Structure 1
Amino acid sequence: MKKTLIATLATAATLIGGAAQAESASYTIEPNHTYVTFEIGHFGTTTNRGRFDKKEGTVQLDRAAKKGKVEVTFDVGSINTGSAQFDKHLRSEEILKTEAFPKATFIGDKFTFNGDKVSEVSGQLTLLGKTNPITLKASNFNCYQHPMMKREVCGGDFRATIKRSQWGVDYGIAYGFSDAMDLVIQVEAVHQ
């Protein structure tokens, strides 16, 4: 009887401990190590690049259950290409219409893992008031104990090639600019 009680308690402790580890962990995106950038071909000759300087978001990650959810919101008006004239044109009614649509959001709720690493995140991108599905593929993913913050940080580099015209961003296509645009989200998030 005593051995049975001890075995039952040990099993219960193991199950409770396992359940605690399987719970989803909450993370807040660290803006100094998170970048939302784009790359688009310019007449098949060069590549225009830019980034959105203001961004925020959260991540829920359950590595044991291989599930997660990420939400990244970026201020479209904070676009920065390194050229004030180009930034002004991108913010205009011809392209990003930032006065009417100041924010864009990616919400990913389907995580794919390769072993214990996130390899893809599928979800919805809302831009210019239009929402379409995209899948961001990871080229890097890692979780580590941050030596200065003394907390776990998880993140990676994620990329998708999208057709910008699906969101109504069709400026220049008639001139020969590419409809295909690479969206890159480099994210690091701090455990809360």
Structure 2
Amino acid sequence: MKKIVALLIAAGVSMTAFAAPESFTSDENHTFSSFSYSHFGYSTQQSRFNSTKAKVTIDRAAKTGSVEATIDTKSVDTGSKLFDQHIQGEDFLDTAKYPTATFKSTKVNFKGDVPSTIDGNLTLKGVTKPVTLTVTHFQCMDHPMAKKLACGANATATIKRTEFNAGKYAPHVGDDVTLTFAIEALKD
């Protein structure tokens, strides 16, 4: 009997040590990316992209994961159709040539049981630079309506737009751009 208990305990430990990663796909109705910047020092302008898609893999037991996100830059929403066209122009996002921006993680860092930062590469306007996202909120639980596991997070980073060939009017229009991501994703 002692051998059976020992085998069961060992099997339980082994199963915990080899927990499988879980994959999630973003919910397009609850996943958005936004950006803000200083406009001549008068105000902080806030805009968003209406279409952001992401795939997330997380192994909470092993404290590892990955994130791949694609932003449709043509979905920029400043609140003004005229300004949307301006931001999509060659001086800024040049969406005719670069219709998407992407983020691909290289490492997900944990603090305790939750992701705290995500290192990765942001590609914007054909330029790829390393960026670290700071996770400000993270939650996984059964979704009450979808009846399956869901995870959500908020994360932020600051980039310099001049480093991505989008620096027209800098420094009067702020070079520092704060990127903010809100994602909700359902288990595949």
TM-score, with structure 1 as normaliser: 0.92
Q: 2:20 aligns with which of 11, 23, 26?
A: 23
What is the count of residue pairs matched by the alignment?
188
Q: Could you tell me how far apart the structure 1 residues matched to 2:14 and 2:51 are? A: 41
Aligned residue identity for 1:155: G
State the match for 2:112 in structure 1: 115
Aligned residue identity for 1:33: H
State the match for 1:34 in structure 2: 31
Instruction: State yes or no: 1:10 paired with 2:8.
Output: yes
Q: 2:165 aligns with which of 168, 172, 179?
A: 168
Q: 8 Å contact 1:39–1:49 — kept in the other structure? A: yes
Taking every aligned residue pair, what percent have the same amino acid on both sides? Answer: 40
Q: Unaligned regions of 5+ residues in structure 2, if any?
A: none
State the match for 2:54 in structure 1: 57
Q: Unaligned regions of 5+ residues in structure 1, if any?
A: none
Q: 8 Å contact 2:16–2:61 — kept in the other structure? A: no
Segments ≥4 residues shifted beyond 3 Å: none
Q: Could you tell me how far apart the structure 1 residues matched to 2:42 and 2:116 are? A: 31
State the match for 1:90 in structure 2: 87
Q: 8 Å contact 1:68–1:109 — kept in the other structure? A: no
- Secondary structure at 1:33's aligned position in 2? coil
1:131-190: CA deviation from partner (whole Å, max 9, x where unpaired):
00011111111112110101111121100011111111111115x111000000111111
State the match for 2:181 in structure 1: 185
Shift in Å, 1:98:
0.4
TM-score, with structure 2 as normaliser: 0.94
